Structure 1
């Protein structure tokens, strides 16, 4: 179940100011160690230590391959690759330089196989989170979003991009 809360865009210059949107509530982040422990509880003969070692090596090798310009496809999860962030376009190939036209690199991850966006939309279920309040609401404990001030809401940081 994916819990969400409502939030209102409040940026003064935003064309979306005043509109309400949904944002997922992330309750916990699993690092490699927690993921290994979780996986070891799924009827596997491997200990969490063995699984952690394999996952750590997978991360290291994935980084190495991506930095070598290769894509890494993890079936039914994602294809990881490098992307280039542009500053601006050049008027001709001769005018193009890395310094003037490239801002940097970024990690890209595209869902694949059983984890496609279409499949997530079919299988995912949303439920409104019940542990937050709307600022300025007369009912005080009505589910809703904040103004982006980050005050109070269970230590969760406000991020309008989810």
Structure 2
């Protein structure tokens, strides 16, 4: 499958006050290339290789990327949502997910929370149902809470965080 070019081509990182506009990135097939301003050079002179990469988002507060990696067609490799610190190349937190039809990512405006809205399918792929993976990125070890809807017929159409606080 060919990679669709998404706009904007380059996405700037949101970082704490005084450090804004330091990093920007672009996604290619299986890679995320992170650049450092003002030199415009590739960070650590190498891209992040991510097989099956579908989407990424910057944290609004830290030099962290959230990434969505698709499940393989054979179902042997699960989908994965990860948060990566680009300055240390360290995986902050990852979560494997099975039977994923779609995943949308949302950072809290202050960067203290991250949500993955997951649309899953049954084994037969005939029924879709929604749920949430909520990452508390402002806490040690980034705990993850799973929220599933009691009624599997309920669909999540959109998601938004409160602008400040919890």
| TM category, shorter | under 0.3
TM-score relative to the length of structure 2: 0.25
Q: Could you say which structure has the greater relative contact order, defined with CA pairs below 8 angstroms and 6 or more residues apart?
A: 1
TM-score relative to the length of structure 1: 0.26
